[in-house]
Amino acid sequence: MTRLTPDLIEGVPDDKIDLDSRLLRMTGKTVKGIALEAAGLEEGDIDLSEFRVGVVPITSGLGVISGFSASVDAIVRRLGMDSHVTEGTDVNGFAEAVDDGVDLIMMADDNRFVAYNTRTNRHTDNSWGTAKGYSVALKNAAGGLEGKEVLVIGAGYVGSWAVRFLKDMGADVRVTDIVFPKAKALEDAYGVKALEDVDRALSEHTLILNAAPAIFSGEKIAEGSIFSTPGVPHYFDEEGRRKAKAIIHDPLEIGTAVMAVNSARYSL
Ligand code: 2YJ
């Protein structure tokens, strides 16, 4: 995943209500609804207000991203959980959260972002949560995926998980990547179809999960396409926005919400 920058997550907590209304329009579900479905739960299966969360800022590597912990904290609180950002950072913050008796600890360095369930010693990874959340969003936006052709762009961590989730949802999955052997490896592992020409694949599909840090010019996009697109940078030109039926995107919320709810589920 591309490193998030402060400008990408600026306003994330405040935009949340708007994201819910956009998601409701495109998928019939809110962020919480998508997170519950992604975790295999239904409304009423879990009382999220019973969960206490500590978000630990991590200074290692490229360091703290301004606004990151606050955004994660706000997203988790919007789900109804009781969350706070720890005063300490790194190991100190982790110990503080454990001493405080939290149920979940959320923290990210440059490579991993996890929601750790302190009761069960299990965690949910952001790549998994992002792929699951955006697959569920695409399924709902498309009115089901059974027997439908779905193109996954990007064969990295998120794309590889998405290939599996979409296949499990009954989709006829195709995968493409600018590094073709990565797509081919998924074909060999999961029996999906690897496509070599990314632009052609894009123009020939209308259900797309984009897990690549790529920008696609509108002329290559098929009319009526539904994009579930966690990849950043995120940009669609005017033609692309006009042709697309739905563009599902946010910089942090869906993946984070899925991680939190899925890790909370481990306590059930
Ligand atoms: O605590 C902080 O403020 C920072 N250490 C947050 C770092 C956030 N990490 C990223 O943006 C990574 N690219 C996340 C990798 C997750 C892979 N799905």
DSSP string, 202-238: HHT-SEEEE-SS--B-GGGSPTT-EEE---SS--B-H
Is residue 3 within 6 Å of ligand 1 at its C-beta? yes
Atom of ligand 1 nearest to the CA of 89: 1
Atom of ligand 1 nearest to the CA of 126: 18
Taking residues 203-210, report their average pLDDT.
Answer: 98
Cα distance from N-terminal residue to C-terminal residue, the chain: 30
CB-based contact 152:163 (threshold 8 Å): yes
Tell me the helices (H) and strands (E) count for the chain, helix number first.
11, 11
Query: What number of CA atoms fall less than 13 Å from residue 176's CA on the CB side?
Result: 19
Atom 3 (ligand 1) nearest CA: 64
Q: Does residue 86 carry a pLDDT above 60? A: yes
The percent of residues in the chain predicted with pLDDT above 70, rounded, is: 96
Give the model's pLDDT for residue 9: 72
Taking residues 245-262, report their average pLDDT.
Answer: 97
Give the model's pLDDT for residue 70: 96
| pLDDT greater at residue 17 or residue 135 | 135
* Residue 77 CB partners (closer than 8 Å, separation 6+): 83
Q: Does residue 232 carry a pLDDT above 90? A: no
DSSP assignment, residue 2? Answer: P
Is residue 64 within 6 Å of ligand 1 at its C-beta? yes
Give the model's pLDDT for residue 4: 79
Taking residues 177-192, report their average pLDDT.
Answer: 98
